[in-house]
């Protein structure tokens, strides 16, 4: 039969919160309860009858509690198939009572790791008996109901009340799936902890927090976010974040992580910066960033590294944008910005801590370390007779940070601490440069005295030739082309400084 009565239950949980109503309901329904250790004491303190597992097995808890439920009289009662006469006969011959409900809440392994505990304490929080009980009960879902997390207590209580101590096959199969989800996640976290040192090349990802998005990249595509956004952001206002919003937010946060010393503002569109500036105050930084591309800023994602004040909010209040990310907002700023109901305002609480990137590709996945290398002045090797001055070098560092976070092939043009224009995602580097020059001129910038950063080397001297004619006086690039000398020669002949970093920053 699909619907089965629950006559007995085994309860072994780490956290006891929210368990009391379950125990009371089981007692009310006349269901026999087996338990051990702290859970047994908790039930006894509630004044409800409970049978010790030790009485069932004839063995005490041993090895400091490491072995309590690992016994045939426990697992036989869980795994025995009620529709198999041979199983029923064996259970009877060994005096093994069937167990119809298993309630387990595992040792908090993840929480212990996150707490910074030492290795011994972490290892002791690897649950052995509990995970075995979950798997056994879930395997025998045709007969046994498995509750594998305290988050399921409320739904179990509702099930017991509506079913009057009975469960359906559909319910048991659903909770079995939940149990295997929890057990596989638990094992993944344990493997990843141990693999920190061994570095075995395996890809094991398990994320239980998720939210369904309105749609994916386009309305006809379904989309989900797996992770807990609330750990990283507090959303103060606006509509729900979309798939594309999240992609842009990640790009914005990654870019802004490069800028800490000065107030900096960036505007991004489709993951690429269309405006970036650092200045003595955030309002001026915003104005300079917006100045770089007043058209693309429409519908963009904005990010700042300082609190949004009323002055900064007033400067941007008439701009339509999707998202604004900052470490904090003043109350006056919020009052101004909240006048548009759909504006998404995010307080960033954490930086991006994950050092690897994973992408599905073909019939598998590719994984790489994040590009955590930021080129500094000390990394520059000046290769031309004209040496870049301090301000030019600082401007080159600024431009290089933006190039690192821009889709390849890219060329970034900057002056001082302001992005003038960039060529983005072009199939040739000279096309990217010409795009950047054209854009800078369309927005009224004079490129005389500006600097140029490239994400990869110049295969030919055409880039420095075009840049020199446009007024560029300093260049930074990785170097490494077999024709580097041709570019150096042009720069020497035209009073342009050029520095090599030795580091390429492709971004696809």
Q: So which residues are the catalytic ones?
A: 139, 270
Give the tokens for residue 40.
Answer: 């047994």
Place of tokens 């009572």: 97
CB 398 within 8 A of CB 417: yes
Place of tokens 């004079």: 446
Q: Where are the beta strands (DSSP E) in 331-484?
A: 344-348, 356-361, 364-369, 381-382, 411-415, 418-423, 451-454, 474-477
CB 490 within 8 A of CB 467: no
Write out the H or E segment, with its range, that includes residue 433: helix 429-442
> Going by DSSP bridges, is the β-strand pair 497-500/474-477 parallel, antiparallel, or unpaired?
parallel
Give the tokens for residue 369.
Answer: 């370390």
Question: How does 116-153 read in b/e, with b if 16+ C-beta sit within 10 Å?
Answer: eeeeeebeebbbebbbbbbbbbbebbebbbbbbbbebb
Alpha helices in 208-242 (DSSP H): 229-232
Place of tokens 């560029």: 472
Q: How long is the chain?
A: 508
Write out the H or E segment, with its range, that includes residue 161: helix 153-163
SS3 123: helix
- Cα–Cα distance list, 186 to 101, 106, 108, 127, 285 (Å): 21, 9, 9, 9, 46
The C-alpha atoms of residue 446 and residue 325 are separated, in whole angstroms, by 31
**Which sign, positive or negative, has the C-alpha torsion 370, 374, 378, 382?**
positive
The C-alpha atoms of residue 266 and residue 305 are separated, in whole angstroms, by 9
CB 158 within 8 A of CB 18: no
Instruction: For 499, list phi and psi in degrees, rounded to 5.
Output: -120, 140
The C-alpha atoms of residue 470 and residue 450 are separated, in whole angstroms, by 9
Place of tokens 């001026």: 284
- Cα–Cα distance list, 155 to 16, 150, 152, 460 (Å): 16, 10, 5, 67
Question: How does 50-60 read in b/e, with b if 16+ C-beta sit within 10 Å?
Answer: bbebbebbeee
Per DSSP, 220 falls in state T
The C-alpha atoms of residue 273 and residue 293 are separated, in whole angstroms, by 10
């Amino acid at each position: 039969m699909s619907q089965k009565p629950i006559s007995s239950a085994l309860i072994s949980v780490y956290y006891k919160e929210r368990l009391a109503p379950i125990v009371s309901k089981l007692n009310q329904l006349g269901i026999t309860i087996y338990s051990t250790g702290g859970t047994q004491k908790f039930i006894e303190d509630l004044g409800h009858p409970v049978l010790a597992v030790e009485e069932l097995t004839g063995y005490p808890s041993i090895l400091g509690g490491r072995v309590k439920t690992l016994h045939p009289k426990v697992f036989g009662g869980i795994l025995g198939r009620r529709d198999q006469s041979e199983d029923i006969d064996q259970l009877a011959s060994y005096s093994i009572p069937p167990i119809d409900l298993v309630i387990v809440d595992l040792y908090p392994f993840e929480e212990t790791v996150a707490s910074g505990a030492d290795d011994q304490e972490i290892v002791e929080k690897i649950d052995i008996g509990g995970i075995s009980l979950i798997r056994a009960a879930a395997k025998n879902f045709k007969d046994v109901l498995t509750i594998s997390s305290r988050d399921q207590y409320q739904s179990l209580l509702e099930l017991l009340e509506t079913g009057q101590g009975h469960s359906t096959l559909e319910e048991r199969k659903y909770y079995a799936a939940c149990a295997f989800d929890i057990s596989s996640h638990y094992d993944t976290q344990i493997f990843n902890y141990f693999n920190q040192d061994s570095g075995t090349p395996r890809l094991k990802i398990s994320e239980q927090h998720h939210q369904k998005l309105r749609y994916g990249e386009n309305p006809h595509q379904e989309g989900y976010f797996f992770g807990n956004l609330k750990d990283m952001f507090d959303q103060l206002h606006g509509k729900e974040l979309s798939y594309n919003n999240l992609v842009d937010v990640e790009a914005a946060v990654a870019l802004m992580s490069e800028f800490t010393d000065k107030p900096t503002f960036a505007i991004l569109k489709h993951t690429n910066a269309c405006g970036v500036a650092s200045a003595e105050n955030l309002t001026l930084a915003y104005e300079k960033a917006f100045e770089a591309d007043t058209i693309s800023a429409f519908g963009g994602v904005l990010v700042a590294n300082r609190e949004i004040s009323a002055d900064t909010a007033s400067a941007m209040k008439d701009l339509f944008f999707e998202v604004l990310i900052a470490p904090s907002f003043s109350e006056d700023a919020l009052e101004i910005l909240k006048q548009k109901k759909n504006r998404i305002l995010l307080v960033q609480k954490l930086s991006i801590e994950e050092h690897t990137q994973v992408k599905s590709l073909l019939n598998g996945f590719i994984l790489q370390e994040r590009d955590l290398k930021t080129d500094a002045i000390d990394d520059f090797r000046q290769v031309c007779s004209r040496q870049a001055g301090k301000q030019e070098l600082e401007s080159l560092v600024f431009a290089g940070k933006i190039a690192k976070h821009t889709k390849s092939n890219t060329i970034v043009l900057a002056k001082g601490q302001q992005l003038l224009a960039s060529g983005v995602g072009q199939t040739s580097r000279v096309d990217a440069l010409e795009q950047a020059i054209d854009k800078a001129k369309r927005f009224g910038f004079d490129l005389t005295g500006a600097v140029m950063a490239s994400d990869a080397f110049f295969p030919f001297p055409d880039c420095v030739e075009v840049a020199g004619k446009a007024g560029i006086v300093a260049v930074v690039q990785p170097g490494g082309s077999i024709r580097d000398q041709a570019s150096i020669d042009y720069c020497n002949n035209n009073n342009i400084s050029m520095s090599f970093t030795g580091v390429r920053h492709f971004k696809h």
